[in-house]
Amino acid sequence: MKVSKGTDYALHAMAYLVSQNGKRDKLPVQELAGKLDVSSTYLSKILARLVKQKYIVATSGAKGGYSLPADWEDISVYDIIVAIDGELTLFEDSFNHGDECKIQRLMMEVEADMIEGFKKKSVEELI
């Protein structure tokens, strides 16, 4: 029951981007990977998913790199987690014996609270 390393990296990368916001315009993956102590090719893969969801902006070419989009303050920790790990669910119901099942409902409740918790956290709070 863990957040994946990929999400871990993504959150840290976001945190760093946020921390540098205003000071620097674009950060190449090399620099980010250096900060996070992870291979740059791997981090590329992770960040590509954030780009696809528009949570960061990528610029190819010399002097390019990653930066935050205009609406970055709206991005939540939940958004990042889902972008990397996919929709988060605590419980995979193999059968679904109907709506009234207590086990299912119980898990859903805790799950919903967790999702709420992550949604309430903006990436702005990461630094």
Partner DNA sequence: TTATTATAGACTCATAATATCCATAATTAG
Partner DNA sequence: CTAATTATGGATATTATGAGTCTATAATAA
Taking CB under 7 A as the criterion, the residue among 29, 80, 81, 83 binding DNA is 29
Residue 52 or 120 having the CB closest to a copy of itself: 120
> Under a CB-based contact definition with an 8 Å cutoff, are residues 122 and 15 in contact?
no
- Residue 60 binds which of a copy of itself, DNA, ligand SF4, none (CB < 5-8 A, kind-dependent): DNA
12 binds ligand SF4 (CB under 6 A): yes
CA distance 26 to 65: 5
Q: Closest separation between CB of residue 34 and DNA, Å?
A: 12
97 binds ligand SF4 (CB under 6 A): yes
CA distance 117 to 114: 5
Element (H, E) at 108: helix 102-120
